Structure 1
Amino acid sequence: MPYAAAPDGTRIAYQVHGQGDSGDGGVAGTGLPLVLLSGQSNSHHWWDSVRADFDAVRTTVTLDYRGTGESDKPDVPYSTPGFAEDVVAVLDALGIDRADVYGTSMGGRVAQWLAARHPSRVRRLVLGCTSPGGLHGFERDRSVSTALASRDQRAARATLLDLMYTPTWLATHPGPYGTTGDPHMPAYARGRHLTASRRHDAWEVLPDITAPTLVVHGTADLFNPTANAPLLTQRIPNARMHLIPDARHAYFEEFREVASPLVLDFLEAPTA
């Protein structure tokens, strides 16, 4: 397992797949890599069900956030700007000067900081089911948060699955699910991730994003309310929005046949 060294020395595990996989954890050949950033308290396995869609045409790079997967798990404060610097460390370790970036959920929050603070490293940006955070962002309903925090773990998990997928999809896809959290993550790290996501506030830096941006959201997303999508679109220069009807938080998986081509068409479109 290859690792990058974060600015504070934390080891960040990363994975390279797709057309430019050199076979030794590096990037071979030509073509702009695509960085895939997963949701809160999840490792790179968040992307397992759809990664092949992007591997077919791109070198894809994922990482295990600190606190997840094979990365180190320091018991120190985490933040979305800090996660973005971990991504930069991975790009540096791979010798990647510039990449396209697709972040979903908390990964979209991380991607906002990456694109705003390191504009030369991001060519095109896709922000999925995410939020600007802070006072301007739309928070989920309190009843949703209360249900997710239930001491009844089975009930809390049922709530999470219902927020991620439609009942019709769940009825025909019994799992396991790669979007419901890293099962091997220590409790303290899970708490650190939750705090990092809750404290995210990129409102002031969103106008600094120079990469053409696609904002994608499901119209039935109650986990991260759909109202955040137009906020991001209006705040980021040269951004456009696509809403997927009836999709919940894990739109990229359940509505894969819509979402993956949508993202690839945006990334592969000729530069104006």
Structure 2
Amino acid sequence: MGTTYARAADGTRIAYQLRGTGSPLVLLAGQANSHHWWDGVREDFHAVRATLTIDYRGTGDSDRPDVPYSTRLLADDVRAVLDHLGIERTDVYGTSMGGRVAQWLAVDRPHRVRSLVLGCTSPGGPHAVERDASVRRALAGGDAAGRRAALLDLMYTPAWLAEHPGPHRTLGDPTMPAFARNRHLVASDRHDAWDALAWIGCPTLVVHGTDDRLNPVANAHLLADRIPRARLALLPGARHAYFEEFRAVAGPLVSDFLDFDD
């Protein structure tokens, strides 16, 4: 099935892609990325279930209103897609900013989330562990080529990059206007679900690469400690895009976690 649309509460068209058959797994991408973040990985789940991806507002085929965005608003957009499809309850797997969005979905709509997987993400706010200053400088300074090289290094190991020259789908949606990129940045930076994390009652798995410098691994420990009965899985040597480079480990890990009876 190709791209189709749902309407958010404010009328924004939200594009979504439903592929495969079986009970759906919602896959939520990182900041300033469309559903293409999951290209080459989503089919790992299709043996037993369908996958549902979403183009956040501002990305892909969704509308791009120039209004304030928040991770909670993006979670409401996900809910609008679920309502449109008649999906009452589902598993949710969010990575990076998608993990922040997934946190709000599980907090605000607990009856809609059967289980939760939070990958390479953070609780946000003052409790979160920030990336170090050298990472911030590398991503903010220099020319576009230098920033791209810095982001690639944060996403993948040099050995993997040597064998996979691209294209790399995790570096941002190239079709986004500058204002939408900034709206995503602000939404992610202002995320703070710390107080609400203790309310998450569904089975939760926290996954993180031990060598993630874009989102320090200490945030995985914070999430696992804060969310009741959450499980923590650390992938040695993995960086931010662990789900792609380490898919042979990460995919089965997530699938095994999701394989339980209610």
TM-score, length of structure 1 as denominator length: 0.94
- Mapped to 2, the partners of 1:159 and 1:136 lie a distance apart of 26
Q: 2:208 aligns with which of 182, 193, 217?
A: 217
Matched, 1:89 2:80: yes
- Mapped to 2, the partners of 1:192 and 1:143 lie a distance apart of 24
Q: 1:205 aligns with which of 177, 196, 202?
A: 196
Summarize the alignment of residues 78-227 of structure 1 with structure 2, pairs less than 5 Å apart.
78-227=69-218
- Mapped to 2, the partners of 1:109 and 1:255 lie a distance apart of 21
- Mapped to 2, the partners of 1:238 and 1:81 lie a distance apart of 23
The aligned counterpart of 1:74 is 65
| Counterpart amino acid of residue 246 in structure 2 | F
- Mapped to 2, the partners of 1:180 and 1:56 lie a distance apart of 28
Matched, 1:62 2:53: yes
Matched, 1:36 2:38: no
Matched, 1:261 2:224: no
Q: 2:8 aligns with which of 6, 9, 24?
A: 6
Superimposed CA distance per residue, residues 78-111 of structure 1 (whole angstroms, 9 cap, x where no aligned partner): 0000000000000000000000000000000000
Pairwise CA distance, 1:49: 1.6
Pairwise CA distance, 1:250: 0.2
- Mapped to 2, the partners of 1:100 and 1:152 lie a distance apart of 40
Pairwise CA distance, 1:12: 0.2
Q: Report which stretch shifted further, 51-60 or 85-94.
A: 51-60
- Mapped to 2, the partners of 1:59 and 1:6 lie a distance apart of 22
- Mapped to 1, the partners of 2:82 and 2:106 lie a distance apart of 13
SS in 2 for 1:224: coil
* Structure 2: runs of 5+ lacking an equivalent: none
Summarize the alignment of residues 235-250 of structure 1 with structure 2, pairs less than 5 Å apart.
235-250=226-241
- The runs of at least 4 aligned residues of structure 1 exceeding 3 Å deviation read none
Q: Cα distance 1:194–1:139, how it changes in 2: closer, same or farther (>3 A)? A: same
| Counterpart amino acid of residue 12 in structure 1 | I
SS in 2 for 1:102: strand
Pairwise CA distance, 1:154: 0.5
Q: 2:19 aligns with which of 17, 20, 33?
A: 17
The count of aligned residue pairs is 260
The aligned counterpart of 1:24 is none
| Counterpart amino acid of residue 49 in structure 2 | R
SS in 2 for 1:13: strand
- Mapped to 2, the partners of 1:3 and 1:141 lie a distance apart of 39
TM-score, length of structure 2 as denominator length: 0.98
Pairwise CA distance, 1:176: 0.1
Pairwise CA distance, 1:188: 0.5
Superimposed CA distance per residue, residues 220-239 of structure 1 (whole angstroms, 9 cap, x where no aligned partner): 00000000001000100120
- Mapped to 1, the partners of 2:5 and 2:46 lie a distance apart of 21
- Mapped to 1, the partners of 2:178 and 2:47 lie a distance apart of 36
| Counterpart amino acid of residue 2 in structure 1 | T
Pairwise CA distance, 1:270: 3.9
SS in 2 for 1:197: helix
Task: Percent identity, please.
Answer: 70
Pairwise CA distance, 1:269: 3.0
- Mapped to 2, the partners of 1:170 and 1:150 lie a distance apart of 22
| Counterpart amino acid of residue 162 in structure 1 | D
- Mapped to 2, the partners of 1:201 and 1:150 lie a distance apart of 26
- Mapped to 2, the partners of 1:211 and 1:99 lie a distance apart of 11
Pairwise CA distance, 1:150: 1.8
- Mapped to 2, the partners of 1:83 and 1:270 lie a distance apart of 29
* Structure 1: runs of 5+ lacking an equivalent: 21-31
SS in 2 for 1:135: helix
